[in-house]
Structures are given as C-alpha cells and as structure tokens.
C-alpha cells in the first residue's frame, strides 16, 4: 500500500495501524487484487514515480501548516474505508485533494531544472548586476533574479539623469530579507566598492568618464565620479577662465582623471583636458601664420596684476603691463576690461613654447616724438607725481613722458631725507629741467632750483666768529650736524663742545631736535661746509686753570669713578682731573671710593691736552715740596697765593659762569703785575 513518504515516521505508523485491522482474508484479497491485472501494476508504478515530484511542488510553508491535519484525516478515512470494503486499487496519498497530474521521471527532472534556472544564488555583501524593472519619483525597483525585487532610493542614481526601465545597474546586497521580508540593495555602496578600480583604469587608459557636479568649493567644483567625490579645479573646467562656477552645479560633465593620490584617496579630474588636444592643433596652425608686427583682433580673456591675456581665436597671447600704455599705470584694468575686443600687435612669439608677446601701446606714436621741440634745459615744467621711491619721484609731464626728480634736487638741505618727506602720489608740482636727452628719452628735474640757493652770499650772512642758533639734526662719533636754515648745515666737532668735560659721544651732551648756540669757525663755500663751535662761546678757562692748578698745588676734589687704571676726580670750576692707580691709596692703605671728598696734589698739568694729573698718595707721604728760587719767583708765588685763595673760596659745585668775574679779575691783576715788571 502506498502512503505519503514526506514523513517516513508517519507513513510507517499509519501503515502499521492499518495492517493491524486487516484480516488474513483481506490481506489475501488485496494481494490478489494487486496481481490481478497488469494495468493496475503499471498504474501503481506510475503513481510511485510521481511521489517525489508532487512533494517538490508543494511549498514548505503549506506542508508545515497542513501536515498534521492531512495525517489525521488520512488515518480516519483509511480506517473507515478498510472496514467497509476491500481495496481494489492502490490509493495515491500524495495527490489526495489536488489536481491529478501525472509526470514521468524524465519530465519531473526537466521541470525541476527549468524552475531552478529561474532563481539565482544570492549572497549578502556581494556586488551583482540588476535590471531596472520599475521607477517613480522616489525609488527604483531592481530585479536581481532573486525570489523578490529590491528597492533603491532614486537619490543614489541622480547622476544618471537618463535612467530608464530595462537599464542594467550594479547593486550591493545588504540583506536578503529584512524584518518585513524586503530585499535590501544599495547602488551607492556597489559603486564605492568598484569605483577605485574604475578610476585607476580610467587614469591608466586615459579614458573619458562621466560624473555629476555636486557642489561648488574653494577654487573649483566637487564632482561625483563612480561614487567618489573628485575635485575639479576652476582652471580645469574650460580653456577660458570661468567666473561663475555655479552654472555647472547639478549637471553631468565628461572628465579625464589627471591625478590620483592613493594615500589620501583624492582624485583630480579635468574637463579642459578633453578639448586641449583639439586646441593644440589649432595653436600650431595659428602660430605658423604669425609674423612680427602683424596686427590682430582679440578678446580680453583674463586680467592679472602683471598683464592681460588675449584670446586670438584658439591661442592666447600676453600683453605685459608695460606694453599696455606709454604712460605709467598701476593696474591693467585702467586700460582694458574683460571680454573687450581690441587690436593688438605681435611683438614676438616662440613656436616651441607656443608663447606670443603682444603690445597695445605700439599701435600709437611714442609720446616723446610729440614732445615740444622748443623745450630745453632750464625751462619750468608742471606735472603730476606718479611714482615715489626712496631716491626720488617720477613726474609725468604729459602721458608717456616722465622726468625724475632726485631727492638731492628737492631741497638745498644736505642732511639725509627721502622723497616721501617732500611729495606724495598725485601731487601737482613744478620743476626745472636739469637734463634732457631726447634720444634716450630721459629727463631729470629739480625742485630746489625754484628757490634761491641759500649758499649764495653765505659769508656775508654767516661770517667767521658770528654767533647763531642751530637745530641738532644728526649725531656721529666725531660730532654733531646742525641746521642753521633750510639748506645750510654745519658740523660741530666733538672737541668743540666743551672746554672742561671729556665727551665720548655727542648724545651725552645734547639731543636731536634741540637748539644750540654756535659760533662760526670756518666757511668753505666751494664744498658747502660750515665748521662750528659751541665751547667758543666762552673764553678758554684753561688759560686761567694754568695758574689755578699749578704743579704741587693742593686741590679738594670728589671721586667720580674708580677703575683699574685710576680714578676720575671732579675739581673746582667744573674741571676734571685723573689720579693714576698708584696715586689713589689712602693713608690707611685702602683705595678711595666713589663720592669720597679728598685732597689731591697736582703732579702734572697740560693746557694743550686739557689734562690734569693728580695724586692723593703724595698728600700723606709727607714729601717735601720742590725748592724754588726766592727772588726770581716771588711774583709767581704771589700769583699762586692769589689763585689758591680764589680756589679755596669756591665750592665744588661752582660753575664756570659763577666764577667768570673772579677769573677775569685775576687775569687783570696778573696782566698788571706783568706790566710793572
């Protein structure tokens, strides 16, 4: 007897139950029936052969739901049928309740093969090709040969504006079935996985690829190429400079991959490269026809700070800023504008480098050729300051004709200054022509010639020994430069600053900008030099000091500084003396210190060198003074006594001005004594 064999356990259990209820006679009858006819045996064989096919057609989900119900019903019906009558023929349990169809083994295998070929073996995380079977405003339905179709967002395919049903696209299988039973696909991820291979192949094979311009960025555009964000520089969009990048955003463009940075995963593409080959052929053809001096019409393509690029119809040429105008300009925009049509002349070209030098000003006559022929040296001209440098200023007399005013020709003053101190850009100035060279097209001008030369009759205005006030302008190591008036400078040597003080640098004596009283000592009109003095405003005190600070005289002084070489001592009348190191020992064998007030003996005096050498050691060593001739030196002793009396009556803070009267009286007394002799 034939039962369902998709569950062998149930089959055997039902078979056993049925057989237990059959009598021996029924079993014999059944066996007789089975062997009665040949047709019945054939039918049983065919039914047995179709068991597996029927089971294969039944889906798993239906079998799982009805399995228990079918078994129960079969049990009941079989038991009841066995009791009522003999089984005359075999019962096909597989076809129970179904349409009766009989297939041979060969047909069954053919049908199974056909059905299997309609399905694909799909694995997750795999990139495969799919066919677009549906599309709306938001989604695209893709068939990959699986039991269900996948849905992809249309935003992942926005770069394919011409996408239509039937197109083949690559997809990435994220999941065969989500919680809702949906097949999950992604076109974006599939492109990313394959994109770098495609980009490298496109770069190596110099292929033309298509990308979608997503957005604008600094210096160019961002393009989506095979799912990779690539950079399209502004200079690589077109052969002509692009001023508005936004017009390309949201459009598909063709590119060539020009650079790949594998380390940082950067890709640079170019649209300009697609048309450069064609333009290169045009350049060769145009340059072959060029000649120096040829006049062509072009369009202003780009303006830079150094010149203008002109499109001559497939080839570019450069007009340098110096070839735009005969006059001086600060920027090419003062002469031309973008997209303007202008005539230019070819100055030079290089066929190998494909460079063309153009000129615009050469189409007009040179302004120097139109310069007034009667203009000569000494004439007064008027112009505008166009350029200022440290060494001078350029004055435009007329467009294209300039002259230089050197800084030395701006003022009669001799101290160092720059042109910025006298003029500024745009000033209208008058000047005198100093030199004029029409062949070299050069002209030098002067401004100071418009005012009288202050050195004219300089000896009459500044005679020797005359006193004046001057302003300190500059310091040097050897003296001070002062200005008596605009254009008249003089030098005060450092040795002419003070009679009594030793000055190492003029900055110790005065400051720049201060006024000083000076005396004219010498006038060199030819070389425009004045020698001035400051200490000469007073009489030379050293004539009197010679009698005050005699050798072996005792003087009270204050120690100013102490060094290894000795000590500097402040003496009366503001004069300073020097005590060598061997003469600064005190009586207690210690060295003197700064601000010590001590007595010193004068051991050397030099009027010419303005030097006084002192000794403190000789004070306490009790050395005898030198003997003098009693008769011949009495007047001298009287003089020294008188001078000593004056010195003792003066304090350390007394200045030269305070004792001027006393020194004058002393000098008069000395002169009278000499006359009496």
Q: What is the pLDDT of residues 144-156, one digit of tens each?
A: 888 788 889 888 8
Q: State the chain's mean pLDDT as an integer.
A: 77
Between 11 and 497, the higher pLDDT residue: 497
Give the length of the chain. Answer: 677
With a CB cutoff of 8 Å and minimum separation 6, the contacts of 660 are 538
* HSE-CB of 4 using CA atoms within 13 angstroms: 25
Whether the Cβ atoms of residue 488 and residue 468 lie closer than 8 Å to each other: no
* SS3 assignment, position 48: helix
| pLDDT given at position 269 | 92
Single out the residue of 515, 501, 529 nearest to residue 611, CA to CA: 501
* SS3 assignment, position 492: strand
Give the whole-number percent of the chain exceeding pLDDT 90.
Answer: 12
DSSP state of 633: T
Task: Print burial letters for 57-89: b (CB count within 10 Å at least 16), e (below 16).
Answer: beeeeeeeeeeeebbeebeeebeeebeeeebee
pTM above 0.75, yes or no: no
Whether the Cβ atoms of residue 118 and residue 150 lie closer than 8 Å to each other: no
Window from 75-84, 174-183, 290-299 with minimum mean pLDDT: 75-84
User: 3-state SS string over 79-130?
Assistant: HHHHHHCCCCCCCCCCCCCCCCCCCCHHHHHHHHHHHHHCCCCCCCCCEEEE
Window from 18-22, 142-146, 344-348, 426-430 with minimum mean pLDDT: 18-22
Single out the residue of 248, 252, 258, 251 nearest to residue 220, CA to CA: 248
Residue 631 scores a pLDDT above 50: no
Alpha helices by DSSP H, listed for 476-585, are: 542-548
Q: Angle, to 10 degrees, between the axis of helix 38-49 and the axis of helix 24-36?
A: 90
Residue 49 scores a pLDDT above 50: no
Residues 477-536: tens digit of each pLDDT = 889 988 888 878 889 998 888 876 778 888 888 888 888 889 998 988 888 888 999 888
Single out the residue of 308, 296, 306, 307 nearest to residue 338, CA to CA: 308
Whether the Cβ atoms of residue 590 and residue 558 lie closer than 8 Å to each other: no
Single out the residue of 418, 421, 414 nearest to residue 406, CA to CA: 418
DSSP state of 654: -
Residues 367-424: tens digit of each pLDDT = 888 788 888 898 999 999 988 888 899 998 888 888 999 988 888 776 667 888 888 9
DSSP state of 14: H
Residue with tokens 């100013």: 560
Residue 647 scores a pLDDT above 70: no
Q: In sequence order, what DSSP letters do the residues of 582-598 get, joined into one string? A: GG-B-TTSPBP-TT-EE
Whether the Cβ atoms of residue 31 and residue 40 lie closer than 8 Å to each other: no
| pLDDT given at position 287 | 78
For residue 319, what pLDDT band results from cuts at 50, 70 and 90?
Answer: very high
Residue 566 scores a pLDDT above 80: yes
With a CB cutoff of 8 Å and minimum separation 6, the contacts of 450 are 380, 430, 431, 432
For residue 72, what pLDDT band results from cuts at 50, 70 and 90?
Answer: low
Q: Which two tokens stand for residue 59?
A: 């889906």
Residue with tokens 């079935």: 177
Residue 66 scores a pLDDT above 70: no
Question: What is the CA 432 to chain-centroid distance, rounded?
Answer: 46
CA distances from 175 to 148, 182, 556 (A): 12, 8, 113
Q: Which two tokens stand for residue 322?
A: 């110096």
Residue 598 scores a pLDDT above 70: yes
pLDDT, average across residues 669-673: 56
Give the whole-number percent of the chain exceeding pLDDT 70.
Answer: 74
| pLDDT given at position 672 | 55
The values of phi and psi at residue 301, to 5°, are: -95, -40
pLDDT, average across residues 33-55: 45
DSSP state of 448: G
Q: In sequence order, what DSSP letters do the residues of 172-223 get, joined into one string? A: EEEES--TTSPEEEEHHHHHHHHHHHHHHHHHHHT--EEEEEEEEETTEEEE
- Residues 452, 471: Cα–Cα separation, whole Å: 21
Whether the Cβ atoms of residue 403 and residue 444 lie closer than 8 Å to each other: yes
């Amino acid at each position: 007897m034939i039962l369902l064999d998709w569950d062998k356990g149930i089959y055997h259990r039902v078979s056993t139950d049925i057989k237990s209820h059959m009598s021996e006679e029924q079993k014999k009858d059944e066996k007789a029936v089975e062997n009665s006819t040949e047709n019945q045996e054939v039918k049983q064989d065919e039914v047995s052969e179709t068991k597996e096919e029927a089971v294969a057609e039944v889906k798993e989900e239906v079998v799982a739901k009805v399995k228990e119900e079918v078994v129960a019903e079969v049990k009941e019906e079989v038991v009841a049928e066995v009791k009522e009558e003999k089984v005359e023929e075999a019962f096909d349990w597989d076809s129970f309740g179904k349409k009766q169809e009989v297939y041979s083994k060969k047909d069954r295998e053919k049908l199974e093969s056909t059905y299997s070929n309609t399905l694909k073996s799909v694995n997750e995380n795999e990139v495969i090709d799919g066919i677009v079977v549906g599309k709306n405003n938001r989604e695209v339905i893709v068939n990959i040969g699986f039991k269900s179709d996948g849905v992809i967002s249309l935003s992942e395919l926005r770069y394919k504006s011409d996408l239509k049903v039937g197109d083949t696209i690559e997809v990435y299988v994220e999941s065969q079935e989500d919680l809702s039973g949906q097949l999950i696909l992604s076109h974006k991820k599939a492109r990313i996985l394959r994109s770098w291979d495609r980009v490298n192949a496109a770069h190596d094979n110099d292929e033309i690829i298509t990308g979608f311009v997503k957005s604008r960025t600094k210096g160019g555009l961002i393009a989506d190429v095979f799912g990779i964000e690539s950079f399209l520089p502004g200079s690589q969009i077109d052969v002509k400079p692009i001023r508005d990048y936004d017009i390309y955003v949201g459009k598909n463009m063709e590119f060539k991959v020009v650079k790949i940075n594998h380390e940082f995963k950067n890709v640079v593409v170019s649209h300009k490269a697609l048309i450069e080959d064609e333009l290169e052929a045009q350049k060769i053809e145009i340059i072959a026809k060029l000649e120096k001096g040829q006049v062509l019409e072009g369009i202003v393509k780009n303006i830079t700070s150094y010149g203008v690029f002109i499109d001559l119809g497939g080839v570019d040429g450069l007009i340098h800023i110096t070839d735009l105008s005969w006059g001086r300009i600060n920027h090419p925009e003062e002469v031309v504008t973008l997209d303007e049509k202008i005539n230019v002349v070819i100055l030079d070209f290089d066929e190998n480098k494909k460079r063309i030098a153009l000129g615009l000003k050469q189409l007009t006559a040179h302004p120097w050729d139109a310069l007034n022929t009667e203009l000569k040296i000494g004439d007064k001209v008027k112009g505008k300051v166009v350029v200022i440098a440290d060494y001078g200023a350029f004055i435009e007399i007329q467009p294209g004709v300039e002259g230089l005013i050197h800084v030395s020709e701006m003022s009669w003053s001799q101290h160092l200054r720059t042109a910025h101190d006298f003029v500024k850009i745009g000033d209208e100035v008058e000047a005198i022509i100093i030199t004029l060279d029409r062949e070299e097209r050069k002209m030098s001008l002067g401004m100071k010639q418009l005012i009288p030369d202050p050195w004219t009759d300089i000896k009459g205005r500044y005679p020797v020994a005359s006193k004046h006030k001057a302003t300190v302008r500059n310091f040097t190591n050897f003296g001070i430069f002062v200005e008596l008036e605009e254009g008249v400078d003089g030098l005060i040597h450092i040795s002419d600053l003070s009679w009594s003080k030793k000055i190492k640098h003029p900055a110790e004596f005065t400051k720049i900008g201060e006024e000083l009283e000076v005396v004219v000592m010498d006038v060199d009109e030819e070389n425009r030099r004045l020698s001035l003095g400051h200490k000469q405003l007073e009489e030379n005190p050293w004539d009197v000091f010679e009698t005050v600070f005699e050798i072996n005289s005792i003087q009270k002084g204050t120690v100013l500084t102490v060094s290894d070489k000795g000590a500097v001592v402040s003496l009366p009348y503001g004069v300073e003396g020097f005590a060598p190191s061997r003469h600064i020992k005190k009586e207690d064998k210690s060295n003197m210190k700064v601000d010590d007030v001590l007595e010193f003996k004068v051991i050397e005096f030099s009027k010419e060198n303005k030097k006084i050498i002192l000794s403190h050691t000789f004070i306490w060593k009790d050395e005898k003074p030198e003997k003098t001739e009693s008769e011949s030196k009495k007047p001298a002793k009287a003089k020294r006594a008188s001078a000593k009396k004056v010195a003792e009556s003066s304090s350390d803070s007394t200045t030269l001005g305070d004792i001027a009267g006393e020194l004058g009286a002393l000098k008069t007394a000395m002169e009278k004594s000499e006359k009496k002799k």
